[in-house]
Amino acid sequence: MAADLGGGSTDADGGPVRHIPVLLSEVIEALAPRPGAVILDGTFGAGGYTSAILAAGANVIALDRDPTAIEGGQGLVKASGGRLSLIHSRFSDLADHAPAGGLDGVVLDIGVSSMQIDEAERGFSFQKNGPLDMRMSASGVSAADVVNRAKVSDLARIFGFLGEEKQAGRIARAIEKAREKEPFTTTRQLANLIELTTPRKAKDKIHPATRVFQALRVFVNDELGELARALIAAERALKPGGRLVVVSFHSLEDRIVKKFFQDRSGKAAGSRHLPEVHDRAATFAPVGRPMVAAGDEESAVNPRARSAKLRAGERTSAPAGTDDLSIFNLPNLAGLEKMGS
């Protein structure tokens, strides 16, 4: 998966980049696949992790919400000799595809794939002009719908929370003024407006539109909500001893993963100023270091790995925790469904 989505020096800039699985050896070490085990790859993409898991002798249930990835993976399905099931599905629904006896492992690679960025018609990159789309599933509300229909206050919150854009309000107001004359339909159209509104400074390392494009992609695909629901689903689908391995590329995603493992560690979260909070039974035990990042060698070969962070845990026999999403402190933003056609 890719670390960014529109600007920067890696595949985020829309250039042709060969898809290289990030932290592959570390993922396989944390998952510990073995012959006969059943591993769910929630983000199939180009099949990098799935191929390595199959090579270790395990069976794989692979999911992807992108129909293009499902089509592209049919060759691997045939070559697997029946050990790979490839399903068009969101990874938040992974429990629906788990066997009755539970899973031995779940791996999630969060973000947008380099293949999606390379296809201008998908609208993920502003370096390649294309329709302002950004939908991973190729259906539902598009980025153009959001840009053309959302209230200025909602756009500002989306850009601010999901893109951490400091000029969110200024850009939102510029969009409102421009769309009164002509609706936004292409990536270049939006990127040009943002660049005129907040010109690039000499010290800036990224294009002025990078954070807005990130925010739109995350919002259109409900990426933070999907991740939170997937973590809870994985907890319920894993058998005792099963491993959950998550690779994220952005601080917003990593905070959710970190919070989940902290919450499921069983340790009390109280303070000396509040009533005592008793420890709960841990549903996950740590696997390896709390966080693993790519080394200098991998980052040099694969620039996408520079921002990648891996966190992993092993399922205990304790009952699954609450499915309350409030533990993640997700931002309260406008409803996506209200912006559709």
Residue 139: its pLDDT value, please?
A: 81
Average pLDDT estimate for 78-84: 97
In this predicted structure, the answer to whether residue 79 has a pLDDT above a threshold of 70 is yes
pTM of the complete model: 0.88
User: What is the C-alpha separation between 321 and 269, in angstroms, rounded?
Assistant: 15
Q: Higher confidence at residue 6 or residue 324?
A: 324
Average pLDDT of the chain, as a whole number = 88
CA 81, CA 54: separation in Å to the nearest integer? 10
Lowest-pLDDT choice from 168-177, 268-277, 328-337: 268-277
pLDDT given at position 8: 36
d(CA 148, CA 128): 21
- CA separation, residue 324 to residues 102, 223, 231, 233 (Å): 22, 17, 12, 12
Sign of CA dihedral 261, 263, 267, 270: positive
What pLDDT score does 259 carry?
Answer: 96
Distance between CA atoms of residues 105 and 80, nearest Å: 18
Q: What secondary structure letter does DSSP report for 197? A: H
Single-letter residue type at 221: N
Count the neighbouring beta carbons within 10 Å of the beta carbon of residue 71. 12
Predicted pLDDT at 7: 39
The per-residue pLDDT for range 163-203, each reduced to its tens digit, is 999 999 999 999 999 999 999 999 999 999 999 999 988 77
User: What is the per-residue pLDDT for 337?
Assistant: 72
DSSP structure class, residue 337: G
pLDDT of residue 201: 81
Pair 91, 63: CB distance under 8 Å: yes
Residue 116 in marked binding region = yes
**For residues 66 and 44, is the Cβ–Cβ distance under 8 A?**
no
Annotated binding residue 44: no
Place of tokens 């925010």: 215
Instruction: List beta partners, residue 131.
Output: 186
109 is in an annotated binding site: yes
Q: For position 266, what pLDDT does the model report?
A: 86
**What pLDDT is recorded for position 119?**
55
Please count the helices (runs of H) and the strands (runs of E) in the chain: 13, 8
pLDDT value of position 304: 80
Q: What is the pLDDT of residue 20?
A: 77
pLDDT at 278 over 70: no
Mark out the alpha helices in the chain (DSSP H runs): 24-31, 48-55, 67-72, 74-79, 114-118, 143-149, 152-163, 168-179, 187-197, 210-220, 223-237, 251-263, 296-301
pLDDT cut 70: percent of the chain above it = 86
Q: What are phi and psi of 136, to 5 degrees?
A: -65, -35
Residue 2 has pLDDT above 90, yes or no: no
Alpha carbons 286 and 294: distance in angstroms, whole number: 19
Indicate whether 149 pLDDT > 90: yes
295 is in an annotated binding site: no
Q: Which residue has the higher pLDDT, 198 or 9?
A: 198
Residue 60 has pLDDT above 70, yes or no: yes
Interatomic CA distance for residues 309 and 110, integer angstroms: 10
**DSSP letter string over 118-136?**
H-GGG---SSS--BS---T
CA distance linking residue 261 with residue 266, whole number of Å: 9
Window from 7-11, 99-103, 142-146 with minimum mean pLDDT: 7-11
Residue 11, pLDDT above cutoff 50: no
Look up tokens 């933003």; give the residue.
333
Residue 4 has pLDDT above 70, yes or no: no
For residues 264 and 85, give the distance between their C-alpha atoms in angstroms, rounded to a whole number.
Answer: 30
Q: What are the pLDDT digits (tens) for 234-262?
A: 999 999 999 999 999 999 999 999 999 99
Residue 186, C-beta contacts closer than 8 angstroms, at least 6 positions apart: 123, 129, 130, 131, 132
Residue 270 has pLDDT above 90, yes or no: no
Q: How confident is the model at residue 340 (pLDDT cuts 50, 70, 90)?
A: low
Kindly list the structural domains of the chain, giving each domain's residue range(s) and its CATH number in brackets, ordered by start: 24-110+224-269+277-328 (3.40.50.150), 115-220 (1.10.150.170)
